[in-house]
Structure 1
């Protein structure tokens, strides 16, 4: 196996492990706010590692760049998604009013 394949396999295994641990934590944690902590690593670390593995394994060119752009968007969007879900959960439980700016 060449070094690119080994690197892609290691990245894919790491991303898959993070995603599986996030799913396991999500299934076992009882409260919505605790579950948010389980989802954050999956969206901001697990999926980007998997996409990085795909970029390393893809032939050089536009395909690899597309995977890298999607991975960067996942890193940035994962945090924002977690914050948005937390806010909606707080509004649903009555801890935060829907029109509150704070």
Structure 2
């Protein structure tokens, strides 16, 4: 087995482990805020590790650069998307509270 192939397998299994961990957490965790936090390993580590594995597997060239750009965009945009989803959850919770249902606002 080549060293490059071993590195690809390690990156691939690391990324897959992060994605599976997030999927299990989404099924187990009770509230929307906890589930939102469960997505962080998948978006900040899982997808970039998979893209890095594909970039190493393809070798030097345009394809590898494309995979690295996708990994960088995913890692950089995941906090922004998480904040937008969190704000939407807060706004919908506040609207439900104002419509007559007696619930406490989020902490």
- Using the size of structure 1 for normalisation, the TM-score is 0.90
Task: Give the unaligned 5+ runs of structure 2.
Answer: 96-107
Aligned to 2:4: 4
How many residue pairs match? The answer is 95
Q: Which has the greater radius of gyration?
A: 2
CA distance in 1: counterparts of 2:93 and 2:38, whole angstroms: 20
- Using the size of structure 2 for normalisation, the TM-score is 0.86
For the aligned residues, what is the CA RMSD? 1.0
Task: Give the unaligned 5+ runs of structure 1.
Answer: 96-102
- Displacement of 1:59: 2.7
Aligned to 1:66: 66
CA distance in 1: counterparts of 2:43 and 2:86, whole angstroms: 14
CA distance in 2: counterparts of 1:80 and 1:49, whole angstroms: 19
Segments of 4+ moved more than 4 angstroms: none
